[in-house]
Amino acid sequence: MKWIDIAKEVKSAEEILKNVIYKTPLDRSNTLSRMTGGEIYLKLENFQKTGAFKVRGAYYKINKLSLEEKSKGVIAASAGNHAQGVAYAASAAGIKSTIVMPIFAPASKIAATRSYGAEVILHGLIYDESYKKALEISNETGAVFIHPFDDPYVIAGNGTVGLEVINDLPDMDMIIVPVGGGGLISGIASIIKSIKTTVKVIGVEPEAAPKFTTSLKAGHIVEVEAKRSLADGLLTKKPGDLTFSIVSELVDDVITVTEDEIAMSMVLLMERAKTIAEGAGAASVAALVSGKIDVKGKKVVAVISGGNADLTTLYKVIMRGLAKMKRIVIIKCVLPDVPGTLKSVLEIIASERGNIIDISHSRIDPRLEPGSAEVQLLVEIPEPEAINRIEERMRKSGYTIISIIS
């Protein structure tokens, strides 16, 4: 199926899905607009049923199955969001679903998938290994394999995101889309380019798995090494055949973002946009705030593709993001091990409106002089300049600073 045929299929998918999914908000972000110089809108697919866009493609694909195919059940491989989409859609259709997930998939996504009635099998370190296992089970049982991205009906269902956006904001100049296997950006690009060819479609993927940037540069599909990432939903080793064909033809550019940029964007979305995005969902904002895309004077939509962030991961991300934003610092220093010394250090920090989050001591390091202690302070500071003032005052008071880490 060619992209123009998929664009037509998107409109059919819209009719099927309109009473099943939510039409998610398109929210103008004053913060991101001010930071980038563009007029930035967030397409909040983290508010979608199952917490991500994936339910769109999964439901439409299952809807297209014959009664005989449905009787055999469905199987899928996923790091989490496609799993929940397939499980939800299968449950709604009254058919059995089996999902193969990587063993390091977030616990919250595994639990959510099971809550929709699916049988979950944990296999492999990344999606590609889970995918091979799912195909084996499909061949053994006859269950229909629901591909997470390289399927025209899945792509068409996902493309309804783009149709909603262009209907709500017909004069937009650019849309920025997180890229895993390419199922979302292929659907969005197909429908948007069929309506308004001047809209720029930009893909974003993590540096941990640069399969599209590498493949597009080579001119053919290339398998890359995929490392662990906060954007676990975007970790695949290579593009799909269909998605690579569509992206090559329609997508204007694909860029990569770092783990720190993803973490900072997740924190920024929580603090300023009051929305929770998982790492994959925040990739589009990471591309914006990193300055890797010129959006000055343009109307731009950033797709927040999912919000299923694991809470234990979220805590680590918040701390990492705050550290990169120089809102939290670690001060390591050597102090005289006598009463009142630590109190005077804390008074210096408090006078600069610093908030002590954690303190640890060490008196047994053989490098320490007798009567000294190494103290590590985790400090929340109101502004980056405060740490310079704290450091200066501590040194004037005669305290030895080993390092300040942010």
- Residue 347, classified by CB atoms within 10 Å of its CB into exposed (0-12), middle (13-18) or buried (19+), is exposed
Give me the pLDDT at residue 146, please.
Answer: 96
Please name each of the domains of the chain with its CATH number.
3-53+151-322 (3.40.50.1100), 59-145 (3.40.50.1100), 326-405 (3.30.70.260)
CA distance 227 to 123: 17
Measure CA 214 to chain center.
20
Give me the pLDDT at residue 363, please.
Answer: 84
Q: Which residue of the set 108, 130, 229, 305 is catalytic? A: 305
Measure CA 362 to chain center.
38
One digit per residue, the tens of pLDDT, for the chain of length 406 reads 888 899 999 999 999 999 899 999 999 999 999 999 999 999 999 999 999 999 999 999 999 999 999 999 999 998 778 999 999 999 988 899 999 998 987 787 888 899 999 999 999 987 778 989 999 999 999 999 999 999 999 999 999 999 999 999 999 999 999 999 999 999 999 999 999 999 999 999 999 999 999 999 999 999 999 898 999 889 889 999 999 999 999 999 999 999 999 999 999 999 999 999 999 999 999 999 999 999 999 999 999 999 988 888 888 888 888 887 888 999 999 999 889 999 999 999 999 999 999 999 888 877 888 889 999 999 999 988 899 999 999 999 988 888 888 7
Contact 177, 203 (CB under 8 A): yes
CA distance 338 to 109: 50
Contact 81, 54 (CB under 8 A): yes
Give me the pLDDT at residue 404, please.
Answer: 85
Ranges of H-type helices in 222-364: 241-250, 259-272, 279-289, 311-324, 341-351
Tell me, yes or no, if 248 is annotated catalytic: no
Give me the pLDDT at residue 243, please.
Answer: 98
Give me the pLDDT at residue 74, please.
Answer: 97
pTM given for the model: 0.88
Q: Which residue of the set 43, 49, 54, 109 is catalytic? A: 54
Most distant CA pair in the chain, distance: 80
Q: Are β-strands 372-380 and 299-304 bridged in parallel, bridged antiparallel, or unpaired?
A: unpaired
Q: What is the pLDDT of residues 152-173, one digit of tens each?
A: 999 999 999 999 999 999 999 9
DSSP string covering 175-224: EEEE-SSSHHHHHHHHHHHHH-TTSEEEEEEETT--HHHHHHHHTS----
Q: Are β-strands 400-405 and 372-380 bridged in parallel, bridged antiparallel, or unpaired?
A: unpaired
Tell me, yes or no, if 115 is annotated catalytic: no
